[in-house]
């Protein structure tokens, strides 16, 4: 219940505050367009609800990222009675390392992989004589998926070490 409540509170805060027309989620979307797309790329919306739904999706991703520590804490508290005296230090030791590795994967994806991918695909389309236009929801879906695809494999070494250490 605490996990769901904290997630909904953070999500609502990101989508509504400081003003609905200039919320934190809208600012994150603006930063993502600036940082990840080639200069001069036009981002369009194809139906009237798309801007609102995109801002809500960005708020959802950001709220999920912000509430991960609360969720992990509650998962640990749920599993801790079943862990042996050997398992508890391993779990705490892997938290910091896994957070650092996922952060490194996200940074690599945002800094190099996603901008290079959009640039490559836009140049490929322009070579065919097409004009690049990107729908807002497609942009967020592709960028969010690529962040997951390039950050989660960084957890594999941590999972393997934790599994071997706990037996």
pLDDT band at residue 90 using 50, 70 and 90 as cut-offs: confident
Which segments of 19-155 does DSSP mark as H helices, in order? 24-36, 50-66, 68-79, 87-108, 114-127, 136-151
* pLDDT tens-digit series, residues 31-82: 999 999 998 888 999 999 999 999 999 999 999 988 988 888 888 888 888 7
Cβ–Cβ < 8 Å for 66, 10: yes
Q: Using alpha carbons only, what angle is made at residue 68 by residues 63 and 73, rounded to the nearest 5 degrees?
A: 140
Q: What is the pTM of this model?
A: 0.82
């Amino acid at each position: 219940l605490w996990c769901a409540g904290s997630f909904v509170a953070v999500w609502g805060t990101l989508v509504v505050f400081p003003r609905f027309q200039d919320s934190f989620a809208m600012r994150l979307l603006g930063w993502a367009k600036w940082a990840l797309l080639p200069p001069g790329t036009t981002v369009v919306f194809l139906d009237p609800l798309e801007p609102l739904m995109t801002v809500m999706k960005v708020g959802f991703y950001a709220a999920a990222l912000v509430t991960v520590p609360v969720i992990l804490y509650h998962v640990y508290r749920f599993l801790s009675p079943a862990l042996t005296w050997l398992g508890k230090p391993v779990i705490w030791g892997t938290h910091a390392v896994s957070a650092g590795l996922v952060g490194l994967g996200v940074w690599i994806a945002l800094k190099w992989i996603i901008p290079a991918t959009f640039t490559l695909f836009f140049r490929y389309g322009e070579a065919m004589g097409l004009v690049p236009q990107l729908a807002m929801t497609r942009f967020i879906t592709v960028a969010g998926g690529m962040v997951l695809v390039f950050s989660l494999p960084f957890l594999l070494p941590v999972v393997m070490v934790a599994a071997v250490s706990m037996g």
